[in-house]
Amino acid sequence: MSNTRFATALHILTLLADAKGEWLSSDWIAGSINIHPVIVRKELGVLNDAGLVLSRKGKEGGFTLAVGSEDITMDAIYLAIKNSNVLGKKNNQPNPKCPIGKDINEKLDVLFTGIDNSVVRELSGKTLADFVSEFH
């Protein structure tokens, strides 16, 4: 992954966990990460769809965690934002006339999925609460 989506999502969730029930605005969060508030709202939309946060519109609106930080594991965050395989992309049109090229993408699929799953398994062993507790 050469994007900042996991780092951004985890930063957001860490702030929300640290806020202990306070509703934080996208502007405030953006100020901590130092990115554009619209990006924060977009990512919060994704986290909302994943059931990790709640949002409230209008004045005094904002965001808060949907569940306790002990109940949010890192794999849930990762799966919410994941948009590619750990080992990257496959080449588009390997040569169908080549015995290797013909079948390589299905073999890569198996390998890529296995590695993706191992990352998810690894991430499932750590909670947001664990991460937040490292800040003191």
Partner DNA sequence: TTAAGTGTAATAATTTTTGTTACATTAATG
Partner DNA sequence: CATTAATGTAACAAAAATTATTACACTTAA
Residues forming the site for DNA (CB under 7 A): 1-5, 25-27, 35-39, 41-42, 44-45, 48, 55-63, 83-84, 89
Q: Which does 125 bind (CB under 5 to 8 A by kind): a copy of itself, DNA, none?
A: none
Cβ-based neighbour number of residue 108 at 10 Å: 17
Q: Could you say whether residue 95 binds a copy of itself (CB under 8 A)?
A: yes
Task: List Cβ neighbours of 52 (8 Å cut-off, separation of 6 or more).
Answer: 13, 65, 66, 67, 72, 76, 77, 80
As a whole number of angstroms, the distance between CA 49 and CA 134 comes to 27
Residue 6 contact, options a copy of itself, DNA, none, Cβ 5-8 Å cut-off depending on partner type: a copy of itself
Asked if 79 is part of the footprint of a copy of itself (rule: CB under 8 A), the reply reads no
Which one of a copy of itself, DNA, none is in contact with 79 (Cβ closer than 5 to 8 A by kind)? none
Decide: is 58 part of the binding site for a copy of itself (CB under 8 A). no
Task: Give φ, ψ of 77 to 5 degrees.
Answer: -65, -45
Position 113 contacts a copy of itself (CB under 8 A): no
Token duo for residue 42: 């977009």
